[in-house]
Structure 1
Amino acid sequence: MGNCCSIPNHDPHPPTTNQSGSRQFVASVSNTKLSQNGNSTSLGCGNNSGQISHFFGPSSSNNTSTSLWGSENSQVSRTREEEEFPNGQILDVANLTVFTLAELRAATKNFRRDNLLGEGGFGRVYRGRIKERIGSSSGKKLTVAIKVLNSDSIQGFEEWQTEVNFLGRLPHPNLVKLLGFGREGSKLFLVYEYMKRRSLDNHIFGSASVKPLSWDTRLKIMIGAAKGLAFLHTLENRIIYRDLKPSNILLDMTYTAKLADFGLAKSIPYPHLSHVTTRIKGTSGYAAPEYLSTGHLYVKSDVYAFGIVLLEMLTGSRIRDIMHVSQPQSLQNWVKSTLLNRVKIKSTMDSRLKGKYPQKLASAVARISYKCIQTDVKVRPSMVEVVETLEKIEAANEKPADSMKQGLVPGQSNKIDSQMMVN
């Protein structure tokens, strides 16, 4: 009999063992449905609570849970299909593996220190090696990242639950893949695909030994992160990511950007609505002003954070340092007087680029950032608009001669999204 699992709304009792010896989590499942909108599938909530309900599995109104076929011999209970969804999709069934503590101890050599990849507020992340397929005789192993959550806090459990709810059913090229999870006693685990290039933070703000990112690579990363947010923002139930920052943008071998850490993500049923909270969460410097002052969280609160990340990508400086330098003027005015100034942009751009970037296109990216960080939520662009504009800039970057002929270079034509331009 397979492992039968559902994710509860509160801290569950420890896993029970059924008659066949399989592990089993027992919890109720709330009424959630999948709704079809044109050619895309979106997730809707039957109770309009503004939350994606805490379960994974097929659409159901009968409170039934989903079986994950497993083994009683400490084998991987289910493997993730290798299908790719170039435009993103919501799965009817979360294709996740249930791992035991023993399996993850073996994968990390008992969570050995030299396998530690990083540590954050929610726990530590280790590199591990797991069997690629159930019953495989080849002995091939897959490198993964294993997050061990801090289960002593409510936040730790909530993040574990939210990660499974969102990433378990949202495959997209620019969202990190959640491969599986586990819970044993008070210990909580999440298993992800391994991102060899680590985080964007490491490349922008890392040690001098880290090879600087080229202008072309920075553009690719910006577009990838923007596409991930645009996907979340265009679901029928918009998902607010809420914690965009360089350390949450992971890079694979080819520098494809993937958003990670969905522990603070929230869902809203209608785009004009906001999520309201009395507990401000996130990272200082990236949180939008309306969220800090009122507790209201909008999809365009993510847009603000994206604008901040763009500033860091352009300047090579952390936002806290930029804010310190920009005083007493506002951040928006500082951008206008530096990155949007034909003379000062040269001294403001990241010195590690060594001047190897097209100034007009760098200015165009700065204009996007300027629009994203506006105080008024309504005037910020959508992430779909941001993606479209960045892709036009990338096209101009790849074929500058053709772009000149077609009027695609910023400053010569309004064809690179005039909504992103400022005087």
Structure 2
Amino acid sequence: MAAIELDGIGKVYADGTRAVADLNIEIMDGEFLVLVGPSGCGKTTALRMVAGLEEVSEGELRIDGRIVNRVPARDRDVAMVFQSYALYPHLTVFENIAFGLTLRKMPRADIDTRVREVAAVLELEAHLQRKPRNLSGGQRQRVAMGRAIVREPRAFLMDEPLSNLDAKLRVQMRAQIARIQRDLGVTTVYVTHDQTEAMTLGDRVAVMRGGVLQQIGPPQELYDRPVNLSVAGFIGSPGMNMFTAHLGIDDTGAASLSFGGQALTVPASVLHARPALRAYSGAPVAVGVRPEDMEDAGIVGAEAGATLTSVADLVEAMGSDVMVHFPIDADPVLTAERRELAADTGGEVGRSGGTVLIGRFSPRTRVFEGQPVTVRVDTARLHFFDPDSGSAIWG
């Protein structure tokens, strides 16, 4: 087991491209930390620096207090599990799992014992004499994990290990990885672009964007209190709905949001929890509402100041939920993604135009495409962000 510290870690390639900037994370002994973010955000580069597969350009990387910036990968006593499995096709499952122990010249009897113990944990006993080509994707991934586990390293480093599996296998393997890590208690750093994986696996989740750490904390904290628009939009499936509204606070302290002829009342509890919101009175704010905080008012009832009216644009029946897409006459929020897209295409970034929201409705809903819909909004769970900086508005 090991504690891993990334102290001001940065990575700059020879051509001047910066992949990671001033990354500061303390990973506790036995912790399961997930690095998550969109493609190109620097998460895999950060993991490879911990593994010793990429040089550290800036800062200090410490394992159990020892600076390992210049320590070769083979001497760090960490095990990497790759997206591609990296199995030897000519070796059996037993030989693949035992490969690292064989290189260490461990006695054969000890190798046999260790491999069979790990195979039992991973439910691979019946496949030990098979070659990788005769295994399913999930079985190959378990062999790759077995090769890492059998070494008894101080830390596991996993780079998108489930991305090549189908949806059902991903769920099964996710549960298995969580169980194995819990049973072994080995420090684990796990990289994924899938926020569902991140939220279900991690003791803590670190969200990255553009090589910069945006927020780190327990999964529920990232969901309930995202620090900016990037985190708010990334965490959640579907992601948080965002639109621009005008905030008004009258002489009695009552607050409301207005946009396109509609209005929502802001509860006093929200103003109490977010005192800095008062400074935005009379100005536009970026408003966030999660799909699960909206429901068909025809089922749960309508409440003054807590409903939106629209026409259902798209209805997706998911079985346990119904996703209802509906437009509102509110300007979109200028997220970092929209700004980057405009920069890449040479277009202009503007706030004009309507916004389509997605509500996660009960399967009891009888909303149909092209029909009017009244949506109940849980206004106590609205999120607010500065429309220019994208930072969350709190105290």
TM-score grouping bracket, smaller chain normalisation: under 0.3
More strand by share: 2
The structure with the larger Rg is 2
After TM superposition, the score normalised by the length of structure 1 is 0.25
Question: Which is bigger in relative contact order (C-alpha 8 A, separation at least 6)?
Answer: 2
